[in-house]
Copies of this chain bind each other. A is one copy, B any other.
Amino acid sequence: MTTPHRPRNPRGHGKRLRTEILTAATELLDTGGDERTVTLRAVACRVGIAPPSIYPHFLDQSAIMLAVVRQSFAELTHRLRAAAAAVVDPRQRLHALCRAYLEYAQKYPQRYRVMFGDLWHPVVDGGVTPDEVTTMGAEAMRLLVDSLAACVASGHSASRDPAVDAIALWLGLHGLAHQRAVASWYPWPADITQRVAIPLARLVNAR
């Protein structure tokens, strides 16, 4: 480009550009309604560099998306942890977890879609291994299992196998979150969250 160049980073801070690329990609993903808008050239343009200057920091374009996914998982986990820590009552804590999960998906629908979209599939290439994906969501799942187990212990849940029922509960939350991210225009019932979460968590004395 003939446009004025951005100031070059000093010697030891080359990795500063990496985070700039990452945030630029995240912003592009959030604003553009499609992950196809997160093009390598668009990211480079937004950062203010030439397209090939990305390669010293990311192996290829999918590596950028993978980094976005990793970062998004970290933030989601952080939010879930914060939501769980703010409440002591087991039942309220489980509700808070579900609410935080769905709020994240609703606030960043594109990110959520990509988090649970592909990338999982390139099983063989230099992509991401199943183990790594499992690790990313492991702590979030643990929060859910623990919270459900606490509900069982306090008599709020009739679950006989919290570890498995937590997966079922998460699948319900995921179905709702994903579908709301994809079709936010659909007239979702107002109480759809409770309709999904309460039965799956096997909560008793629903209110």
Please list the residues of chain A having a beta carbon within 8 angstroms of any beta carbon in chain B: 33-34, 113, 116-118, 120-123, 130, 133-134, 164-165, 167-168, 170-176, 178-179, 182-183, 185-186, 188-189, 191-192, 195-196, 199-200, 202
Contacts and interface: CB of A to CB of B under 8 A. Distances in A.
Main secondary structure of the interface of A (DSSP, over half): helix
A207 to B, nearest CB: 14
A200 B172 contact: yes
B186 A168 contact: no
Nearest to A35: B118
A179 to B, nearest CB: 6
A192 B167 CA distance: 8
Given A33-B121, A34-B118, A34-B121, A196 B183 contact: no
